């Protein structure tokens, strides 16, 4: 079983979000970067499948050199090797193009990633990769199991319920809870990760279809209006007459 797990390098969930250069780029100053939390569900599920059935897990990141500490972390958690496409991940189409190009060279049995990244929240790349490769993309998947060597069984969240889908390998799936329980790397993992192969390749194509022009932040809230707990019912009146949401 050859599994490709795509990870993105994103600001930690508690980061303050700021922009620089006339609000044209994200301010990385003082920001801690982590493996996108959604991608971690995909990574740990891939490692679990490898442990159960054998095979390899390759981690792929489209990003610049500053993503390497988190690529090493993925290796420490249990991936076997890694590929970094050396490029600024400009938009989803560009990233999907890179993943599809790597996938075409390597015949993976499954390509996994998170359901979205917590920075750009696009939720686009997985379906684009599936379409580019002409294979099914199951998005978002909350469960992933192998039925046999050529078939997987997934649960997909839909609005108001879930679906059970069986697909032939290869396929693309995006992970969300409760697919797996993310792991913390242990000391042995951290030591072995240092010598695991991390290949850096140059990007293909380069067309940008969604050009990020500028960023802004939402307006600050006007402050909270407190209501006395004794007269809690007053809240309902305010929600109707003042906020006009009831």
Residues 175-214 that bind another protein (CB under 8 A): 176-178, 208-214
C-beta closer to another protein: residue 80 or 157: 157
Does residue number 136 form part of the binding site for another protein (CB under 8 A)? Answer: yes
Does residue number 123 form part of the binding site for another protein (CB under 8 A)? Answer: yes
Q: How far apart are CA 186 and CA 178, in angstroms?
A: 22
**Residue 36 burial (10 A CB sphere; 0-12, 13-18, 19+):** buried
C-beta closer to another protein: residue 187 or 246: 246
Q: Can you tell me which of 1, 101, 118, 146 binds another protein, judged by CB under 8 A?
A: 118
# chain residues binding another protein, by CB under 8 A: 78
Task: Provide Rg for the chain, Cα atoms.
Answer: 21
Q: Can you tell me which of 107, 160, 187, 206 binds another protein, judged by CB under 8 A?
A: 160
How many beta carbons lie within 10 A of that of residue 131, not counting itself? Answer: 13
**Residue 230 burial (10 A CB sphere; 0-12, 13-18, 19+):** exposed
Q: Can you tell me which of 1, 37, 198, 203 binds another protein, judged by CB under 8 A?
A: 37
C-beta closer to another protein: residue 24 or 194: 24
Footprint of another protein on 84-113 (CB under 8 A)? 92-93, 96
Q: With the C-alpha atoms ordered 29, 30, 35, 41, is the resulting torsion angle positive or negative?
A: negative
Q: With the C-alpha atoms ordered 171, 176, 180, 182, is the resulting torsion angle positive or negative?
A: positive
Residue with token string 């250069």: 21
Q: Can you tell me which of 51, 66, 81, 131 binds another protein, judged by CB under 8 A?
A: 131
Q: Can you tell me which of 90, 119, 185, 196 binds another protein, judged by CB under 8 A?
A: 119
């Amino acid at each position: 079983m050859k599994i490709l797990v795509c990870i993105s390098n994103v600001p930690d969930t508690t980061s303050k979000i700021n922009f620089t250069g006339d609000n044209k780029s994200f301010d990385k100053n003082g920001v801690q970067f982590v493996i996108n939390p959604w991608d971690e569900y995909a990574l740990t599920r891939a490692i679990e499948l490898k442990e159960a059935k054998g095979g390899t897990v390759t981690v792929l990141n489209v990003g610049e050199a500053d993503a390497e500490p988190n690529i090493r972390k993925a290796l420490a958690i249990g991936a076997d090797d890694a590929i970094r496409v050396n490029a600024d991940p400009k938009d989803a189409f560009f990233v999907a193009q890179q993943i599809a190009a790597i996938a075409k060279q390597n015949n993976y049995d499954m390509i996994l990633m998170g359901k979205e990244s917590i920075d750009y929240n696009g939720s686009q790349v997985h379906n684009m990769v599936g379409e580019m490769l002409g294979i099914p993309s199951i998005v978002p998947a909350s469960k992933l199991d192998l039925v046999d060597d050529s078939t997987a069984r997934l649960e997909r969240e839909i609005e108001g319920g879930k679906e059970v889908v069986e697909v032939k390998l290869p396929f693309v799936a995006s992970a969300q809870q409760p697919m797996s329980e993310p792991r913390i790397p242990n000391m042995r993992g951290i030591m072995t990760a240092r010598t695991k192969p991390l290949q850096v390749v140059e990007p293909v194509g380069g067309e940008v279809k969604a050009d990020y022009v500028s960023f802004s932040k939402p307006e600050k809230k006007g402050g909270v209006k407190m209501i006395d707990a004794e007269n809690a019912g007053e809240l309902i009146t305010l929600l109707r007459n003042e906020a006009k949401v009831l």
